[in-house]
Amino acid sequence: MSIEMISVLLFGSMLLLLASGLPVAFVLGGLAVVFTGVFWGPESLFIILARTFSMMSTTTLVAAPLFVLMAVVLERSGVAEDLYEMMYRWSGGIKGGLAVGTVLACTLIAAMSGIASTGVVMMGVMALPAMLKRGYDKRIATGCILAGGVLGPLIPPSIALVLYGTMAQVSIGALFAGGMAAGMLCSLLIIGYILIRCYLNPKLGPAIPVEERADWDAKISSLKGVILPLLLITAVLGSIYSGIATPTEAAAVGALGAFVCSAIHRRLTWDLIKSVAYTTIQVQGFMMWILFAAQGFAAVYMGLGASRMVVNLVQTYQVGWWTMLIGIQVVWFLLGCVIDAWSILMITLPIILPLLPLYGFDPLWLGVLYAVNTQTGYLTPPFGTMLFMMKGIAPKEVTMTDIYHSIVPFVVTQLFCLALCIAFPQLVTWLPNLLFK
């Protein structure tokens, strides 16, 4: 059977099984086992085991559970309350200021956690009721939290970038630097959109009345709320960029720092330790099963001749540079509507990697484009996990229709950021070049 027909059967089966509601790990792992047995015989199943064991031996993956642990502890440490209070006092006096402060708080939370759900949950609980109480439009209040929250997988310490760097053999520190540059750009674009909308229509985000605004003493006093976040970010990212620590060691520093933050806020209890341990194991177990299953899936598909097929197709049809790049982005975006970012990476990267030398794509730049692109998947239905998470924590007056409508302009803003990063690669590469070359 030709590799083309095998590709149709393999990916057709994958889409059919995913549509039936089966977990991604079971689908990818099951198909890997079945196709290995059918084409190479049962004695060849050791290939999947060998590929999985090889991935398990990758030391950089130790950073992933440590960053998850850090994010979960921070979510329950009390850091976000002080951080939002500071943003509230400093930005509440301008039109759309609370929404801007929320995005800034989400950006800092992203730089501490690397996970989308952390910022969405924290700000959804604290910032959304405050904005609605002040007369903010439901859609701009909800949308800014969702858009700011999903910066987590882009701004380091990003677990998605750790996985990409491990698979593509790219410096994780350099990826973090590129993700930081792109994340700051995306955050500024979101803030710019909010300010322009609220300037043109002040009813969308009215400023806090003068009599309720914080005085300078209160503003200065609130700055203490940003001390712990900045210290933690500096400890994690500063140790990587300065060369003092590897990403894995920096992740351990971050996890310890998160516990210290929790202790300072007097929330470090035995119950909290047990709770964050269970949550970390659950999240990490989910991620690793997907990783192992996808590795087996990729090993089988590559072994059957997928790399040669892709290279031959590209050379036969003379696919242009821009066509290939845009095609990759479209595939990532469409897959983001139905499966999570980790699964997208595991499925597509083994196919894309052989194309890098053919087209001269910078693997660091492409990795950051992956992170910018797939962050939209957290907001686009039907997968859109953050949409359903927001519905679970939002007040009753915020309907699912409001949430769906709220994300449209922010997804457009994220895609505009992606377009800028594609058109001007220097926006992504200037910081890695500055720090690592």
pLDDT of residue 429: 92
pLDDT at 119 over 80: no
pLDDT of residue 343: 77
pLDDT tens readout for residues 26-49: 888 898 889 888 888 888 888 777
Spatial separation of the C-alpha atoms in residues 335 and 329, rounded to whole Å: 10
Q: Which whole number is the average pLDDT over 52-80? A: 76
Number of domains in the chain: 1
Spatial separation of the C-alpha atoms in residues 345 and 143, rounded to whole Å: 26
Tokens of 234: 């500096």
Tokens of 82: 């002080």
pLDDT of residue 243: 77
Question: Which band of pLDDT confidence, cut at 50, 70 and 90, is reported for residue 62?
Answer: confident
Burial of 434 (0-12, 13-18, 19+ CB in 10 A): exposed
pLDDT at 189 over 90: yes
Spatial separation of the C-alpha atoms in residues 305 and 3, rounded to whole Å: 6
Give 417 or 242, the one with higher predicted confidence: 417
pLDDT tens readout for residues 288-345: 787 788 778 877 887 877 777 777 777 777 788 899 999 999 989 988 887 777 778 8
pLDDT of residue 7: 82
Q: Which whole number is the average pLDDT over 346-365? A: 86
**Most confident residue range from 277-286, 359-368, 382-391:** 359-368
pLDDT at 18 over 70: yes
pLDDT tens readout for residues 68-109: 888 788 777 777 777 777 887 888 788 888 899 889 888 888
pLDDT at 426 over 90: yes
The residue segments making up the domain with residue 32 are 3-435
| Mean pLDDT rounded to a whole number for the chain | 84
Give 368 or 267, the one with higher predicted confidence: 368
The Cα-based distances of 361 to 35, 38, 309, 372 in angstroms read 31, 35, 19, 16
Question: Which band of pLDDT confidence, cut at 50, 70 and 90, is reported for residue 437?
Answer: low
